[in-house]
Structure 1
């Protein structure tokens, strides 16, 4: 609650906290525990297209996983997958989020 994002809607800020709690403070892809500053609340359907800050459109991810979803450079993607030690199921989840 102390990390309120002022340039976002109240709905986004409320749902972001709720989603973090619902996921028990863990990344939705890796299951790793998240700290205070190493996570990102990601819109499944891009906000610039949908203007959708609803709870169901948000997912809490480790910052590195969030970066991986948005990367386009194949070498950087391969390196980050290797660093994160992702299995096939986790890579599949990331690819589903990339498609959205």
Structure 2
């Protein structure tokens, strides 16, 4: 019953197994699905590669070949997807990510029940990550000075939203 929800049909059991009527099976149409994208045709591969334009393949290869050993498979798979989904840019500043200047951040921390799901992760630069978690005034000021040139009003709103989610106060930058 948990897979089919509430049916208006009587469930029949044979040898202890539930048989569900075909009428109880529900489907959904997949939205924005293109049958043209296909790994097996030249045109399909071209469409897939068009989506990856602007991404540094060396960084993508680095992420794929260097998983974080202490993390889950889901987390490491989602890091790859995030890099591609964010087009190789920091989610806050829009800067191009570099191998030694990028980290994935849990939007809702694990301590507060956050998971390793794609929707709960973002890629950001190292300095932005430090600024999200910074608590002392000295540390906050140090990282504000480092990222000030990349922060505008809209980016500050995103940054403050993430700071509030980890339990830190909002920042005000002149």
Where do residues 67-78 of structure 1 align in structure 2 (5 Å cutoff)?
A: 67-78=130-141
- More RCO (CA 8 Å, sep 6+): 1
Report the equivalent of 1:87.
Answer: 152
Deviation sequence 1:13-69 (CA, Å, 0-9, x none): 001110111001110001000111210000000023315110000010001000000
1:59 matched to 2:122? The reply is yes
Q: Which runs of 5+ in 1 are unaligned?
A: none
Shift >6 Å, 4+ stretches: none
Larger radius of gyration: 2
Please report the TM-score for the alignment, with normalisation by the length of structure 1.
0.91
Distance 2:92 2:144 in 1: 12
Higher helix share: 1
Partner-residue secondary structure (3-state), 2:116: coil
Shift of 1:6: 1.1
Please report the TM-score for the alignment, with normalisation by the length of structure 2.
0.54
Give the RMSD, CA atoms, in angstroms. Answer: 1.3
Distance 2:98 2:136 in 1: 27
What is the aligned residue count? 100
